Structure 1
Amino acid sequence: MEQQNKRILTLDLIKGISVLGMIIIHTLLVYANVKSQYETAIGSFIVFLGRGTSIFLICMGITFMTSSHQSLKSALKRGVLLVFAGLFMNFMKFMVPVIFNFAPDNFIQKYGWNAPIEQQYVYLVQLGDILQLAGMSLLFVGFIREYVKNKYIMLAIGLFVALISREVSGINLDYPVINYVLDLLFNTDYPAYVYFPVFPWMAFIIIGMFFGKWFQELNYNIQQIFRNMLYVGLLFIAIGAPLVFLYGDYNYNGFYHMGPGGVIYFAGWTLLFLWLINTITTNSKENGFMRVLKYCSKNLTSMYMIQWILISWGKGIFGYRQHEIGYVSVLIVLYIILTFSVQTLLDIIRKKKTLFDFRPLSSNKTVLK
């Protein structure tokens, strides 16, 4: 029974949808020309979908609280692994095409490569994306889950992260390694560009943790927690909307580095969206498409890395930001197929490795794991 295993179907479906969505969004951003991205109905809609990062992060916070792995050690370990996974992904995305000389010229020119080649490599590998955000955030939220037991204090911490985000932005100590960490935390613009700095984006994860804790206190009552999301979401929109639309320079400041009002406003709409999806799927019977989405949810991190690497490598074949929307639509289908194919291949390799993993028993016998 779903309530007994503490999983929420809606969250699995949304995380699964996010896998398909990011393939669509990233393919458009990499291959479509500017006109196709912003002057066509399809392109504009896909760019709009790219603003759904807060949905994934709130879902991450909820599942973080209800996960079977509740130790601080596991959170810290996974946090470090995700940061290094992000660096590895950047190496595969950017360095492999450069090393093997199949990166398109207009992509190289985009960054204005006047610095020595070694500095260019460092810049590309250090670009901050969602994996670095998730990893760095886990190093903080692991302690919150371990030591903060009151859900309202959790929520207060999340709102505090949003509140101070604009004030701490730009902290710089002039030491390269330290500054890279500060860049991931506060967006110092040294030396890499960080799309999702921990401040303010970690606030969405902590807001999700607030609802995860509430879900536990409600004895995993799924319908009640989504009703609560609706009420809190409406409250957040009422608070955030005037801040964003009347004082937008401070409270919004662009999607990637928004201020406190932007966080509250986007969190409100996200909570409404989660309530709506749950309402739609409450009485739905599981079908083939749902099973695909649950598979994507289960393999979210690896599929995220796979699709970005494949899309980045494809620039050497299909070019960079020079195609019309029809051509890009074909590429979207291609990359969905390729991403699932590589993930399936990894599953087969992992299964074979497990099948032939013999381990000694204390009685000097072996067991087929």
Structure 2
Amino acid sequence: MEQQSKRIVALDLIKGMSVIGMIIIHTLLINANVQSRSETAIGGFIVFLGRGTSIFLICMGITFMTSSHQSLKSSIKRGGLLLLAAFFMNFMKFIIPVIFGFASEDFIQKFGWHGPIEQQYLYLVLLGDILQLAGISLLFVGFIRKYVKNKFGILAIGLLIALVSKEISGINMDYPVLNYISDLFFSNDFPANVYFPVFPWMSFIIIGMFFGKWFQETNYDSKKLFKNMLYVGLLFIAVGAPLVFLYGDYNYGGFYHMGPGGVIYFAGWTLIFLWAIFNISLKMKENAFMRILKYCSRNLTSMYMIQWILISWGKGIFGYRQHGIGFVFLLIVLYMILTFSVQISLDLLRKKKPLIMFRRISTDEAVLK
């Protein structure tokens, strides 16, 4: 049987949609008032979309296993670069507005801080988001990819991390630097320095790796892959739902600090969602919107950083959580335009071809990207 393409169009579309989605979600979270976020159907739906982090992480795990860069060294290097990018993004988000005098007072007052202003902004620079999670995870999952050859062994590691997460969450070293590192791995406070601790969130990446390995074993047959996702997703929901709804305090306990049941339950729905998007993508013809999504997918990390920096800077201009849903929609359009404009400008500076999003690309060219 001839080997099929390693590239899965559905994953490109999903990652591209996540770029569009995160601009919408982050704009709402930063600019919308309480009524707009919680008392309108549109605001509630957008907040619900913000619970889709597991989709991105499982996709990350799949592509990690099928990447052309398979060495342990490349995984560690990529992880280190993502960590540097994460702290650079926080510096740009929070310190640049202070240096140039357009920081949002409303945002600082929200925390009710007391003490030296330097300490407050150090807290913000160290704020742990999804880039820190991805960077730290890459430092570890490279070893799994290199040394664990059985796909069920990979899955067992992912589920084990979910299983022990509640038991080891909240570990505190009582020393500032060590305590921050322990927060990155085990934080259970909200709000805290860290929104996405490695335990349990790395579980989703490893579950994605399990399917990436399965994809390899099917000779890169994407139809078999997504059918397997459907079956495993249904199994995960059957196992996770009773745990979440009957023993929710331990197995869920909040979106950012889930227990084992929450991880399994969210992973189940994520896998079914991926199966549905794959089947929809089979019926779609190449068009301009799909090419834009693929462009976003190729530039996911940089566009994630760009939109967060722009939205954070905007707090000093538009205020923090002050606006109704109509004005927020105008800001969403503004930040969409600005994010794409900055990304395209960076492409031009690096002599890439951003206008590739507006034309067809051949199958061979797509696989190389």
The TM-score by the shorter chain falls in which range?
Answer: over 0.9
Shift of 1:192: 5.0
Share of identical aligned residues, percent? 78
Distance (whole Å) between structure 2 residues aligned to residue 12 and residue 3 of structure 1? 20
Shift of 1:107: 0.8
Find the counterpart in structure 2 of residue 27 from structure 1. Answer: 27
Distance (whole Å) between structure 2 residues aligned to residue 104 and residue 175 of structure 1? 30
**Deviations 1:186-214 (Å, cap 9, x if unpaired)?**
11659952110000000000000000000
Q: Name the stretch that deviates more: 203-212 or 167-176.
A: 167-176
Find the counterpart in structure 2 of residue 253 from structure 1. Answer: 253
Where does 1:166-245 land on structure 2 (aligned, <5 Å)? Answer: 166-187=166-187, 192-245=192-245
Amino acid at match of 1:206: I
Matched-pair contact (CA < 8 Å) for 2:4–2:219: no
Amino acid at match of 1:17: M
Does residue 39 of the first structure (1) align with residue 47 of the second (2)?
no
Shift of 1:5: 3.6
Find the counterpart in structure 2 of residue 49 from structure 1. Answer: 49
Matched-pair contact (CA < 8 Å) for 1:123–1:191: no
TM (norm. structure 1) is 0.93
Distance (whole Å) between structure 2 residues aligned to residue 87 and residue 141 of structure 1? 21
Find the counterpart in structure 2 of residue 270 from structure 1. Answer: 270
Distance (whole Å) between structure 2 residues aligned to residue 104 and residue 82 of structure 1? 27
Find the counterpart in structure 2 of residue 120 from structure 1. Answer: 120
Secondary structure at the aligned position of 2:149 is classed as coil
Shift of 1:114: 0.6
Does residue 158 of the first structure (1) align with residue 158 of the second (2)?
yes
Shift of 1:175: 2.1
Matched-pair contact (CA < 8 Å) for 2:30–2:311: yes
Amino acid at match of 1:14: I
Shift of 1:125: 0.5
Sort the Cα spacing of 1:128 and 1:302 in 2 relative to 1 into closer, same or farther, 3 A. Answer: same
Shift of 1:101: 2.1
**Deviations 1:7-37 (Å, cap 9, x if unpaired)?**
0000000000000000000000000000000
Matched-pair contact (CA < 8 Å) for 1:124–1:192: no
Distance (whole Å) between structure 1 residues aligned to residue 194 and residue 127 of structure 2? 6
Find the counterpart in structure 1 of residue 360 from structure 2. Answer: none
Amino acid at match of 1:104: S
Amino acid at match of 1:165: S
Amino acid at match of 1:258: M
For structure 1, the residue ranges without an aligned partner over 5 or more in a row are 353-369
RMSD, aligned CA: 1.6
Distance (whole Å) between structure 1 residues aligned to residue 180 and residue 278 of structure 2? 39
Find the counterpart in structure 1 of residue 335 from structure 2. Answer: 335
Matched-pair contact (CA < 8 Å) for 2:5–2:220: no
Matched-pair contact (CA < 8 Å) for 1:25–1:49: yes
How many residues align structurally? 352
Distance (whole Å) between structure 1 residues aligned to residue 41 and residue 113 of structure 2? 34
Find the counterpart in structure 2 of residue 133 from structure 1. Answer: 133
**Deviations 1:207-255 (Å, cap 9, x if unpaired)?**
0000000000000001011000000000000000000000000000000
Shift of 1:113: 2.4
Distance (whole Å) between structure 1 residues aligned to residue 305 and residue 312 of structure 2? 11
Q: Name the stretch that deviates more: 78-87 or 98-107.
A: 98-107
Secondary structure at the aligned position of 1:256 is classed as helix
Shift of 1:176: 1.7
Distance (whole Å) between structure 1 residues aligned to residue 49 and residue 189 of structure 2? 26
Amino acid at match of 2:94: F
TM (norm. structure 2) is 0.93
Distance (whole Å) between structure 2 residues aligned to residue 132 and residue 115 of structure 1? 26
Distance (whole Å) between structure 1 residues aligned to residue 332 and residue 23 of structure 2? 7
**Deviations 1:60-101 (Å, cap 9, x if unpaired)?**
000000000000000001111111111111111111112222
Matched-pair contact (CA < 8 Å) for 2:4–2:221: no
Distance (whole Å) between structure 1 residues aligned to residue 181 and residue 272 of structure 2? 34
Where does 1:99-110 land on structure 2 (aligned, <5 Å)? Answer: 99-110=99-110
Q: Name the stretch that deviates more: 234-243 or 110-119.
A: 110-119
